[in-house]
Chain A
Amino acid sequence: MSESVKSKNRGLSLGTRKFLTNNVVTILFVLVGLGGLKVSGLSIPFFLDDIINRVARNGFMVLALIIPVLAGLGLNFAVVLGAMAGQTAIIMATHWGFGGIGGILLCVVLSFPFAYVMGLLTGKLLNKTRGKEMITTLILGFFANGIYQLVYLILIGTIIPMNNEVLVLSSGVGLRTTIDLTDGLKFGLDNVVKIPLTLFSVLAGAAAAAGAVIQYLVRRRRPLGGKARLNWMVAGLVFGIASMVWGVYQMLNQSMFSFLRVPAVTFAVIVLLCWFIHYFTKTKLGQDMRTVGQDSHVADVAGIATDKIRVTAMIMSTVLAAWGQIIFLQNMGTFSTYGSHENVGMFAIASLLIGGASVAKATISQALIGTVLFHTMFIVSPLAGRVLFGDAQLGEFFRSFVAYGIIGLSLALHSWKKRMQGKLK
């Protein structure tokens, strides 16, 4: 290697290099996504429409994973239980004939006690299986699936009375395999307000720019991190203004983009959850949780009720997962009674990891970026598979390989890293 190249490499600032090594997974997926998008030949408006929908319906569930990571419980595969609670509420609401936003709110309320109890039990179980939390939540998901099937395939109609020709199988026992929400909860949340993407872009841009300025002004008096704060403000302003300009431009041009509609309320709910998680980490309980997550021995010594905190984290995650599943299903409009929840945990966890999170650290931005990237791959891989290999199925195999592989890989890397650190100590 010549001297000039070497110095150039050194010229790459330490920060940049650190950024690259820390985000190698995310960068890789950005490249794969862009490549796949190009190969698949999808038009950008069509792709945007799909990705907006997918982020709206999956974002909440991915965010539900953050709190257990904070509490040191790792990736919570048991969000599947939360999803079951959400589906239980949806089945009840559909059975009683509720729909629209009222129905959604009813589901939110109905799912709470189920999710609470499941989270409580999961947390108690995890306190008995310390050090093996993730495999426990994984197996617990399978176990709960058995119970779920027992209830809805066998107990409905035999022990739990339910008279509903639409929902129950003709034999009178067990629910049908698919439940149609078209005349009820479908788009209950999405359709409250749907605004054009262009307008949404202007509004979001304005909010981002205003937020950046306000944040800067409010915190100006604090002593530390002046430069970083300024950078953040500039970034927020640039993004906000760019987004506004783009929106206005497309609006005036009447391009394809101006026909896209964004489920504004769903996004508002997601933003609200982001804000809640951000706020929660600053509360006493959030700080305690972080301490427990970092070192439960230290937490014990500091007088924090470790076991209780862990249970609380599981309850919160499970309840959020239940609501996430409600958002997911109202968008899908139809759900597979015995299948909709099965892959929920895997897809959400893969999303989070692709965003650059690990078993021990996950942030809101990682969750959101990961959701976008994972679902980009979801959209493009069958199409890219057809173009590249003449077979859409190969793309689907690739998709599930990536989902499983990314989870396996990051679990392995995390454990490997932890062992190396342990050796160094």
Chain B
Amino acid sequence: MTHDNEHGADSGVTKIFGALKSFGAPRLIIIGFLVILWILALTIKIPMPALFSDTLIRLGMNAVLTLAMLPSITGGTSLFFGLPLGIICGLLGGVMSIEMNLRGFTAFFGAIAMSLPLAVLVGLGYGWLMNRVKGSEMTVGTYIGFAFVSLMSFGWVTLPFHNPEMAWAIGKGVRVTVSLEGRFSGILNNFLSVTIAGVKIPTGALMFLTLMCLLVWLFYRTQLGHAMRFAGMNPKFAEASGINVNRMRILGIVISTILGAIGILVYAQGFGFLQLYNAPMYMGFIAAAGILIGGASLKSARISHVILGTFLFHGILVVALPVANTVATLGSLAEISRAIVSNGIILYALAQKGGES
């Protein structure tokens, strides 16, 4: 920092501008928007501690799903719109854990353990397909995800789950939402949770998130991780230096699918319900928006983008609802701003130069 001072104010200013530019206009707008919402919330006397706890809870709930975008982007297959596939694997794990009558941490980690093999299999299949549709990964992925969700609707009706907590009282199949009360609802959020100045900190969820990020970070430190990042960044060079690019792409997708499965279980423990049937359909877009808001592009992303993006995006949603309700009874404003912000940021990323495949 002392070096900067010696160069004088002039270069300092250009540096600040440079930093701002690389930080990106949409990020600044969104941070500005969040700050304005916070100020509004302060002025209309919405209890701030509650807002901050909600923001932290939302961060813990959603960040693993956002993290699922990272391996896919760095592996060279762009945004992972096939996320619903991973989510369904996680949901299957959750449903199986209830069917086996597990409770508490056993239920949560049991669900993860059961969903992992499924996620690996699904990820391998999806990755195989993505290697055949290079250049249209996002479009094909979106529709494969949609098709899989509606195919699984058959599954939810016909698979033999009998636990009365999940089954409809009349007729066949599993309910649309399955309560996790007494199973693993809030299992991470409440673990070692402390309240500081009125802000309830979901310690367990944040610890779990840190653990996930650490694992991913460690993976990128391995030789395999390096190879994957290299293959994603520059497939031609990577191929020339003896890396099997297609295999790296599949690897990225498999890790993404696994993270999607884990992510939905983390989400579900915070939400208190497993949402089946059509619920996973649009979750891929939300997660994609999260990482893009954090500063990722279609071709490069970092863990810091995941955390910052999830915090900003879900922070806005958390504040927007009570603010909108107080200013005028416009309950749907939160939903609307989610649609506009999330899809707007994806469009922005698509329109950036160099995102082409």
User: B143 — which chain A residues lie within 8 A by C-beta?
Assistant: 404-405, 407-408, 411
> 6 nearest interchain CB pairs?
A146-B339, A408-B143, A143-B343, A146-B340, A404-B146, A404-B147
Q: Chain A's interface: helix, strand, loop or mixed, by majority? A: helix
**Among A147-155, A244-252, A253-261, the stretch in contact with B:** A147-155
Given contacts A146-B339, A153-B332, contact A136 B350 (CB under 8 A): yes
6 A-B contacts (beta carbon < 8 Å): A131-B357, A135-B138, A150-B336, A154-B336, A404-B143, A409-B147
A230 to B339, CA, bound (A): 56
Q: Residues of A at under 8 Å CB distance from B?
A: 125, 128-132, 134-136, 138-140, 142-143, 145-147, 149-150, 153-154, 158, 171, 173, 391, 393-394, 397-398, 400-401, 404-405, 407-409, 411-412, 414-416, 418-419
Given contacts A394-B154, A407-B143, A412-B140, contact A154 B347 (CB under 8 A): no
A416 to B128, CA, bound (A): 12
User: B29 — which chain A residues lie within 8 A by C-beta?
Assistant: none
A32 to B134, CA, bound (A): 31
Q: With an 8 A cutoff between CB atoms, is B16 at the interface? A: no
Q: Chain B's interface: helix, strand, loop or mixed, by majority? A: helix
On whether the beta carbons of A397 and B150 are closer than 8 Å, the reply is yes
User: B350 — which chain A residues lie within 8 A by C-beta?
Assistant: 129, 132, 135-136, 139
User: B285 — which chain A residues lie within 8 A by C-beta?
Assistant: 139, 142
Partner of A138, one of B139, B339, B357: B139
User: A405 — which chain B residues lie within 8 A by C-beta?
Assistant: 143, 147, 150-151
On whether the beta carbons of A132 and B356 are closer than 8 Å, the reply is yes
Q: Residues of B at under 8 Å CB distance from A?
A: 129, 132-136, 138-140, 142-144, 146-147, 149-151, 153-154, 157, 171-172, 285, 328-330, 332-333, 335-340, 343-344, 346-347, 350-351, 355-357
User: B340 — which chain A residues lie within 8 A by C-beta?
Assistant: 143, 146-147, 150
Measured CB to CB, the nearest residue on chain B to A75 is: B139
Partner of A143, one of B136, B140, B344: B344
Given contacts A153-B332, A401-B154, A404-B146, contact A412 B347 (CB under 8 A): no
On whether the beta carbons of A145 and B356 are closer than 8 Å, the reply is no
User: A391 — which chain B residues lie within 8 A by C-beta?
Assistant: 157, 171-172
Partner of B136, one of A139, A142, A404, A415: A415
User: B339 — which chain A residues lie within 8 A by C-beta?
Assistant: 142-143, 145-146, 149
Partner of A128, one of B129, B336, B351: B351
User: A150 — which chain B residues lie within 8 A by C-beta?
Assistant: 336, 340
Partner of B132, one of A400, A401, A409, A412: A412
Measured CB to CB, the nearest residue on chain A to B332 is: A153
User: B332 — which chain A residues lie within 8 A by C-beta?
Assistant: 149, 153-154
User: B357 — which chain A residues lie within 8 A by C-beta?
Assistant: 131-132
A162 to B172, CA, bound (A): 47
Partner of A154, one of B138, B154, B330: B330
Question: What 5 additional pairs, Cβ within 8 angstroms, besides A134-B139, A409-B147?
Answer: A125-B351, A128-B351, A397-B157, A400-B150, A407-B147
Measured CB to CB, the nearest residue on chain A to B338 is: A146
On whether the beta carbons of B144 and A132 are closer than 8 Å, the reply is no
A285 to B356, CA, bound (A): 28
On whether the beta carbons of B139 and A411 are closer than 8 Å, the reply is yes
Given contacts A139-B343, A146-B339, A393-B157, contact A134 B136 (CB under 8 A): yes
